[in-house]
Amino acid sequence: DIQMTQSPSSLSASVGDSLTITCRASQSISTYLNWYQQKPGKAPNLLIYAASNLQSGVPSRFSGSGSGTDFTLTISSLQPEDFATYYCQQSYSASTWTFGQGTKVEV
């Protein structure tokens, strides 16, 4: 199975900051990488698919990049509602999928 490793596991930031979260796959997954945001007590919400495509309705301060094994999620000008946990997910495999362990963004 493809393993996904996120870093850091948590980070502290302030409103207005720019931050980057990294996700690494255990093998090349081309651009089959998706990012989700999850707030406490809620279901995850799709932010970015195919490494760099912004899901409809997601603010443009979110961006993604990468291909192969290394990917990044960048949030420019952090807003109060962005404090949450972020997960990457590989969809390279045709029938089994895995998530990273999550990155918690805290004040």
Binding residues for other proteins, rule: CB under 8 A, are 1, 31-32, 34, 36, 38, 42-46, 49-50, 53, 55, 87, 89, 91, 95-102
Amino acid at 15: V
Shortest distance (Å) from residue 29 CB to other proteins:
10
Nearest CB to other proteins, comparing residues 33 and 78: 33
DSSP sequence for 3-26 = -EEEE-SEEE--TT--EEEEEEES
The single residue listed with the structure tokens 């999850």 is 38
Shortest distance (Å) from residue 15 CB to other proteins:
25
Shortest distance (Å) from residue 16 CB to other proteins:
28
- The span from the CA of 93 to the CA of 30, in Å, is 11
Nearest CB to other proteins, comparing residues 52 and 76: 52
Nearest CB to other proteins, comparing residues 68 and 102: 102
Nearest CB to other proteins, comparing residues 9 and 12: 9
- The span from the CA of 15 to the CA of 101, in Å, is 24
Pick from 57, 49, 30, 41: which is nearest to 88 by CA?
Answer: 49
